[in-house]
Structure formats: structure tokens, C-alpha cells
Amino acid sequence: MTWAALVLAITLPLAAHAQVDTQTCVVLLQFEDAPGFLADSAAAQHPAEAQGDVSPTSGRFGAGCHLGPGGWIDAGSNFGMSFCAPRQTIAVWLRPDGSGPGPGERRFIVGSREAPERSSWRWNLVIQEDGLLGFRLYDGRLDDPVAVLTAPEPLQPARWTHVAVVIDIIEADVMRLFVDGVQVAEHELVSNSGFGRLYLGGAAPQGFVGDIDELAIFEDVLPAEDILALAQAEEALPVSTGDLANDPEGFALRPITGMHYVIVRHSALPDTRWMLRIPEHTYADGDRREVSAEVVWERGDEPQSWRFRWAADDEHKRAAALDFEGTVIARGDTIEYSLTARNVGEEAWGSHSRLGLFCFKAPDSPDFVDYEAERTYVRRDGAWITMGEVVNHEFAEHRMCGIAVGDAEGQAEPITAKFTVDGRYLVAMATKPARSLSFNFTPTTNCQHSNPAWRLLAPGEEQTVTGRIWLIEGTLDDVYERYQAELAAD
């Protein structure tokens, strides 16, 4: 049997195969060690769950995965971000069984979408109605793709092909499709969308039928020579040695390339993954639509330290009357963060709609579910009180609520704290200055929000807000002492 390589490339730098830098690899499904053949070897270790006709088989390297009719895999969301990064590379080995799509059908191979029962695709790799391989990118607002790449020849049945796609909307504004290490299609880009789960295959009759191996997603753009090296490789990719694979004692950080989000883990709770959004909302345009802001991340001068800055051009910044930059640093059981906003427009502003809500959430983590808000505390009138008591245990259907920060009666100090279900650990968050605290108490979201307070900034002026996140074994008073010493006294 002849091996061939198909590469779907979203511009990522990659060197010779033995020199591939796997630190930016966020998904690596190698399908080894049945029955646990769905384990993710990448540093972030996303869970993957098979549905229907999915089974181990011989792979391009070692074992692989067979998707039968109606078989598909939910590979999780990574908080919805890593699978739709502005700079990204997707690579996979495919061996179709030869059964192509019927009239008007597509066969979905791999893609990111909001949910399996909805048509809200972010991107997908498919065998199109004409039998050709295609990659489709969506912007989250339209049902039709905003850009499509199509290979000139169909995949050959019973033969391994390497496919790669590169997406880059920060530097090159382009996406490229590679088959067996050779670029076969290119398309200009203006945007793509975030927030999606990763799926392989699909429900019958729309799912790919055949074998898959070595699915790798990188949060970076691999150059053409590195994609060729992947296609010509004679061995599997090495397991990732990224930051999260070798967690330090305490907090570990990994920013999501191009986005103002950071994945957070802690050695005391290795099964919990948080996402820190600094901020959650960037700014609004003249029509009050929220605008996503791509950022550039750079490593700081010490371990687990990062700097970020907005990647927009000067014209875009002037139109938004905004520029911003910030830092995030992990030191043991503490995360320190800062955000500097600068008015680059012609009129003064101080609206929270410019940069609002620092969000720290642990989605899908049972340790931090607090549906009745009985383990989530704020400090009001000199004493700790649960958010359940604050709202008199009456929640709106969306189960979001909040409290203003200030010195007036009934207002809170700028710190919030939440206990784990077993009461052993306490995670706390504080921002200075803050205007409000807010929360989401659904079973899957588990958000703590600190909303920064921006003073009125004249053109050319800037302001910096700072904050802390702590995870301790201790009491509310213990973490309050930390807050007083490390942040309130500054």
C-alpha cells in the first residue's frame, strides 16, 4: 500500500519533522493504546469521546481510528477557542474507504462547530458534493462559508493522504490548502470566528467513512517546508512538551494565539482548566456590536510571564478611539494581571463598553459548580456574604447576577471568592479599580467577573488597572489578608 500525505494549512511555522516545535500543538490525536485510543497527547489534553461506529484500526503510524457510517468523535471545546485561532495549522492523515457523498451531500471529515445538532460551523474539512476535498471557513454570522478551498483531485480510496490547512488573519490574511505536502489552493481572508467544539466525522450519511490518524492542530502558522516535512515523515509526531505538559508548582498559563484569552491550570487541581479573559469584552463599534480584538502575545522576562498588545492597525485603533496592552504572570498560587487602555481618538471616553469584564471561569468543572450561589462570596459592609444571600436566592432564567463595587451602603469591596465543592480550596479574584462584580451560576459556566472602572480619559491619556487571582487552601479571611497586602494597599 502506498502512503500519501494530505495537509490542511493555516499558516504555521514548522521545521524538519524531527525538529517540529510541539509547544503550540493544542490537539494531537494519535489513536494509540486501545481501548483508550482517543487520548489526546498534546499538552492541553483535551478529552475526546466517540459516538456510534468508531473503532481502532491500523494507522499511518501504529494504530489509527476507523470512522464507520454514522461514527463521529466529539473532541471537546478547549473553552471554545483553540480550534478557531486567528493563526492556526491543521494537519491530518486520511484513508477514505471509497464511498463518496450522494447527490447534494457532503462528507464531513473534521471541523469546529457550536454543537453537533446545529449548523453553526466555524470551519470544516469535507468531501464536497463533487467528490473533491474542500475546506470551508465561516464567520459565525452567515450560513454560507466566507471562504472555500478546493483540491483539484479527489482523495484516492484505500490510500493514506496527508492534508494540511493554514489560516492566518493577523499577518498574511490568507488560508492555504496542502495535499501530500504541496500547496493546491489559496484564498484571501478578512476574518474567522471563534467558539466551537472540535468534531471528527458526522452522523450518517454526512460523515466521512474511512481511517484517520495523527490529527494535529497548532496555534501557529507552519511554513510550507514544515508541512512538507510532516507529509514526508516516517514516524509519528513527538508528544507535546508545551508549557502545560510540564506544569510548575502552582498556576500554569498558556495564552491562546491571537486572542485575549489564557488557559490556566493549577498543580493542586490537575483536572481543572480555567479560562482567563482579559478582558472578556473588547470594545463596541458605532452600531453597538461587540468587536473581537486579535492580540499578539510575547513571553516576559520570567517563567510563566506574558505580555500582550492589540494587533490592529493604526487606522482601526483611531476609529475605535482605543489602544490597549497588558501583562499576565503566574507566581505559585497567584496570578497577577494588568491592562492598560489608551485613548487614541479625538473625544474623551470612560465607558466600560470599551474594555469590560475580566472573566475567570472553569467550564465543565464539577469542582466549581455552585448552582445555588452558596459557595461564592463577596465582601459587603465589612463582612462576607454569599451571592445567594445578595439576591435573596432569586435568579433570572440565565442565572446571572452581580453587585456594584463602592463605598456606599449595600455595595461590595472589589474581591470575590469561591470554594470548591468539597470546601478544601478557595479561588479568589480582585481588580483595582473595579466598578462591579458579576457571576454566572449555570451548571457548566461557573464564571467570576470583575468589571474594571475606567475614569474619563481625554485624547492621549491612558489608565492601567491591575488584578490578582489566588488559589489557596484556607479561609475567606486568609485570602482577604492576601488581598489587603498585595492589592488593596498598592
Distances (CA, A) of 445 to 213, 346, 363, 366: 32, 39, 5, 10
- Joined together, the cell numbers standing for residue 281 give 469584552
Supply φ then ψ for residue 358, to 5 degrees. -85, 125
Please tell me the predicted confidence (pLDDT) of residue 14.
36
Q: Which helix (H) or strand (E) holds 477?
A: helix 476-483
Q: Encode 241-265 in three state secondary structure.
A: CCHHHHCCCCEEEEECCCCCEEEEE
pTM of the model: 0.71
Report how far residue 261's alpha carbon sits from residue 268's, in angstroms, rounded to the nearest whole number: 22
Please, what sign has the CA dihedral across residues 347, 348, 353, 354? positive
* 3-state SS class at 207: strand
- Closest residue by Cα to residue 351 from 459, 461, 280, 453: 453
pLDDT in tens, the chain (490 residues): 333 333 333 333 333 344 556 667 777 888 876 555 666 655 556 667 888 999 999 999 988 999 999 899 888 765 545 566 677 899 999 999 987 787 778 899 998 876 555 556 788 999 998 889 999 988 765 578 888 999 999 999 999 999 999 988 777 789 999 999 999 999 988 666 656 678 899 877 789 999 999 998 887 888 898 899 899 988 887 754 444 444 568 998 888 777 788 888 898 998 788 889 988 887 655 444 455 567 888 888 888 899 999 888 888 888 888 999 999 999 999 999 999 999 999 999 886 667 888 999 987 688 999 999 999 999 999 999 999 999 999 988 889 999 999 999 999 999 999 999 999 999 999 999 999 999 999 887 789 999 999 999 999 999 999 999 999 999 999 999 999 999 987 6
- Closest residue by Cα to residue 276 from 245, 296, 252: 252
* 3-state SS class at 297: strand
Place of cell 495535499: 179
Strand order in the sheet with 49-51: 49-51, 72-74, 197-201, 107-113, 121-127, 133-137, 147-150
* Distance of alpha carbon 439 from the chain centroid: 20
The total number of residues shown for the chain amounts to 490
DSSP letters, 177-235, are: EEETTEEEEEEE-S------EEEEE-STTSB--EEEEEEEEESS-B-HHHHHHHHT-SS
What DSSP character marks residue 270?
E
- β 147-150/182-188 pair status: unpaired
Please tell me the predicted confidence (pLDDT) of residue 37.
61
DSSP letters, 310-356, are: E---HHHHHHHT-EEEEEEEEETTEEEEEEEEE--SSS-B--TTTSB
Please tell me the predicted confidence (pLDDT) of residue 5.
38
- Joined together, the cell numbers standing for residue 81 give 477557542
Please tell me the predicted confidence (pLDDT) of residue 2.
33
Strand pairing partners for 356? 281
Catalogue all structural domains in the chain, each as residue range(s) with its CATH number: 7-243 (2.60.120.200), 247-488 (2.70.98)
